[in-house]
Amino acid sequence: MRNTRFPGLVALALGASVLAGPAAAQQQPARPAPAPAATPDEALGLPPADWWFQEQAGGRFPGTAAARAYRELLAGRQPRQPVVVAIVDTGVDIEHEDLDGVIWTNEDEIPGNGVDDDRNGYVDDVHGWSFIGGRGGNVHQDTYEITRIYASLRRYEGARPDTLSAAGRADFQRWQQVKADFQKEIASAQEQLQQVAGIKTALDQFLGVLRREVGSDSLTVEKVTALRPVRIDVMQAQQAYLQLAAAGITPKAVDEEVERLQGRLRNGLNPDFNPRTVVGDDPADLTQRNYGNNDVEGPDASHGTHVAGIVGAERGNGIGVDGIAPAVRIMPVRVVPDGDERDKDVANAIRYAVDNGARVINMSFGKAYSPQKGVVDDAVRYADSKGVLLVHAAGNDASNLDERPSYPIRAFQAGGQPKLWIEVGASSYTADSLAASFSNYSQTRVDVFAPGVSILSTVPGNGYERNQGTSMAAPVVSGLAALIMSYYPQLTAEQVRAIILESATRFPNQRVIKPGEESGQVAFSTLSATGGVVNAYEALRLAAQRAGSR
């Protein structure tokens, strides 16, 4: 499952007056309207759009220092080679104005001739591949892994353990646990839907108040900020609107979250829902590899397009945003639906990326169960043997990964682990909230943190949006790896991994609120193995030393 677009939306700390709506807000004391701000970003309390490129200064913006690296270390220099980065995700808008010049092209494939020209098993894979599509169309929504496990075991509903074999009793016990977990998931989804629907109801009321006050159906941050209300209901509506906007939560985003949660109940947690027939494969046959289609965008490429832009949006073209890597080729590999990705598809995506020249594979997705983990482990071993770096988002559950893994995970079932894996948590833009409130963490399973809050990047239709999640932090690291590889191609992936981790900016004395908690502080250094945030400037300096270059 892709990291949600707005982690923590349902837990958003709106005041009681905000959730209650304008009618209740009239009972609250009046407050002065906010003073005009110099920019919309400042009005919302947001950092600069490129904050994650900056370095720490005055306790703010502990970003990657990539801007300094380009200014002081790379000025006048050109990358020595392009680096292919596979974006294993929901799909990528390959025609986006800020991505179309950096999309990977399979030069050995003739577009649209219906022939597997390069004989790699995939027909017309000109710009990548989708393992969740077929001749029948594309999978958009799919079930969650726990739903699939529940469906496979529900034959034990009403069974009598004393009539079962030893193996059957073991399955019956597993069924009981899975059933309990499944019912908790349904209850949680229902509760979240109720909360977000409440936010939507309150927001609709506020929007009505503000539209009447502005005298227009079109609301913008500038218009709402400029209001000087005298009525309490307008003041409270203004406050709520700007508070939501500061969190990057628009009315459209709230509507989409309601729709997502409704879909979760209707499809993701429905054991009778099966969209897989359009693919045409046998989901149980883990040996199948040559299935899918070449539609690398799919029905909803928002998440994958945002991830791709962080890695490699065209630099210096005068439009949009800049990716962190200058000489990247983005290879879209679609495996993530609105639901949980399947282990078989993830394994095949890794193999496809490796076999077609990717040096870095970004995986901004995760799930709570991995019933066919062995097939993923085999693919990870294959990537490791070929010198390909895997970068995985730690997840947005504000959980300790030692207690609640987010698959795929580095550790193999049979023991051991790959050398070329980086697990990434999300950091924020002020020192006092350095660890993003939603980020997963672990001093043994998370390697490093990277900026993952209020990240402006590409979205389909030539658009740009700020999103947050470890989904955004992982491509910062993938892009940094590609940046190093493009200037120092003589370095191995293992050396690049070591450079990224060794050069991370440490915060040994920084105490932060532990993700998922409202108070009480822990040392930031206890949340990952390095206790640091990636630093592009220091990484490139160290890379130059390791490569024997001035």
Contact 289, 446 (CB under 8 A): no
Secondary structure of 495-517 as H, E, C letters: HHHHHHHHCCEECCCCEEECCCC
Could you check whether the bond before residue 408 is cis, i.e. omega within 30 degrees of 0? yes
Q: Which of 335-339, 519-523, 544-548 has the lowest mean pLDDT?
A: 519-523
pLDDT, one tens digit per residue, over 188-233 is 999 999 999 988 898 899 899 999 998 888 888 888 989 998 899 9
Contact 104, 127 (CB under 8 A): yes
Give the pLDDT score at 203. 86
Distance CA 375, CA 367 (A): 16
Distance CA 16, CA 24 (A): 9
pLDDT above 50: residue 16: no
Helix and strand totals (H; E) in the chain: 15, 15
Q: Which of 40-49, 151-160, 282-291, 484-493 has the lowest mean pLDDT?
A: 40-49
Domains and CATH numbers, the chain: 9-36+166-260 (no CATH), 51-142+280-546 (3.40.50.200)
Residue with tokens 């493009």, as numbered in its chain: 486
pLDDT above 50: residue 22: no
Contact 444, 530 (CB under 8 A): no
Give the pLDDT score at 390. 98
Give the pLDDT score at 15. 37
Strand partners, 511: 523
Q: Which of 38-42, 296-300, 533-537 has the lowest mean pLDDT?
A: 38-42
C-alpha dist (Å) from residue 410 to 414, 492, 513: 12, 20, 27
Strand partners, 392: 363, 423
- The stretch 511-517 carries a mean pLDDT of 92
pLDDT above 70: residue 51: yes
Strand partners, 365: 2
pLDDT above 90: residue 20: no
- The stretch 125-149 carries a mean pLDDT of 96
Instruction: Say which DSSP state 524 is in.
Output: G
Residue 428 CB neighbours (<10 A)? 24
- The stretch 540-550 carries a mean pLDDT of 87
- Band (pLDDT 50/70/90 cuts) for residue 32 is very low
DSSP state string for 273-324: ---GGGT-S-TT-TT--S--BS-SS-S--HHHHHHHHHHHPPTTSSSS---S
Give the pLDDT score at 344. 98
Distance CA 106, CA 137 (A): 23
Percent of the chain with pLDDT over 90: 77
Residue with tokens 């639901």, as numbered in its chain: 339
- Band (pLDDT 50/70/90 cuts) for residue 31 is very low
Residue 284 backbone phi and psi in degrees, to 5:
-80, -15
pLDDT above 50: residue 26: no
Distance CA 25, CA 22 (A): 5
- The model's pTM is 0.90
pLDDT above 50: residue 17: no
Residue 387: which of 495, 501, 479, 493 has the closest Cα?
493
pLDDT, one tens digit per residue, over 377-415 is 999 999 999 999 999 999 999 999 999 999 999 999 999
DSSP state string for 1-59: -BPPSSTTGGG----HHHHH-HHHHTTSPP-PPPPP-SSHHHHTTPPPTTGGGS--BTT
Distance CA 60, CA 42 (A): 14
